[in-house]
Structure 1
Amino acid sequence: MSTATVTPEVVTAPPASTTPVTLTDAAIAKVKEIMSTQDPLPAGLRIGVVGGGCSGFQYSMSFENQSGMMDKVLRFEDLKVFVDATSAMYLNGCKVDYVETLEAAGFKFENPTVKSTCGCGSSFSV
């Protein structure tokens, strides 16, 4: 009598959901520095994606006094970052850094979902 060996099926769990956006230490420090000069002090930073530019979409950053009903509220140290549900789809896995070079200084978005950018780098498509 032969016995068949049954191999259990291996099921891979789906990847854990990622944070829509992360900020580097340099970006957090710069946002806090700029926020400290605002009167009144904002509740947090809104990061989003808006239509426009040569390639279809642009990043936006602004200070907010409160989050919206459909916002995801992220915390980086004591900094709150608000991301609306639509922008979260386009920002999934995006890293925001603050860089200073001899030519320029500013926030740099590294977004893995971007398929192409325009020549000047200010807009993108997915």
Structure 2
Amino acid sequence: MATATAVPEATAIKTPLTLTDSAAVKVREIMATQDPLPAGLRIGVVGGGCSGFQYSMSFENQAGMMDKVLNFDGLKVFVDATSLVYLNGCVVDYVETLEAAGFKFENPSVKSTCGCGSSFSV
């Protein structure tokens, strides 16, 4: 008599950082204006601001030796190992409102932000 065995479901591999479609579109739009065309976007966390840390975004011509390279439909995002610790589970979005437009970081690791919203603590 044959017995059925349960096959474990494939576990989803979670990326440490997520870029929304609107953020990826905006990054590609800005990258297209650069000369020479950058290889990708660097997202990081640097010390500074009222609360201790700030997000940084810049274009890079190549990944660093210790970078994690994330791929969002062909858009490369470089994150250094130290920043990766602070960005784990973070979602980067691009929003446009009547008051402002810009990139918004939704980070589950953040415990508090400063009054102006430009820095955070973990």
1:22 aligns with 2:18: yes
How many residue pairs end up in the alignment? 112
- Local SS of the residue matching 1:33: helix
Counterpart position of 1:102: 98
Query: Does the aligned pair in 2 maintain the 1:18–1:92 contact within 8 Å?
Result: no
Deviation at 1:18, TM superposition (A): 3.4
In 1, Cα distance between the equivalents of 2:12 and 2:49? 32
Deviation at 1:26, TM superposition (A): 0.2
**Could you report, residue by residue, the CA deviation over 1:28-77 in whole angstroms, capped at 9, with x for unpaired residues?**
00000000000000000000000000000000000000000000000000
Query: Does the aligned pair in 2 maintain the 1:44–1:66 contact within 8 Å?
Result: yes
The share of aligned pairs that are identical, in percent, is: 85
Deviating runs (4+, > 3 A) in structure 1? 15-18
Query: In the alignment, which of 72, 83, 86 is matched to residue 82 of structure 2?
Result: 86
CA RMSD of aligned residues (A): 1.2
Structure exhibiting the larger radius of gyration computed from Cα positions: 1
Structure 1 runs not aligned, ≥5 long = 1-14
- Local SS of the residue matching 1:26: helix
Opposite residue 50 of structure 2, the aligned amino acid is C
Structure 2 runs not aligned, ≥5 long = 1-10
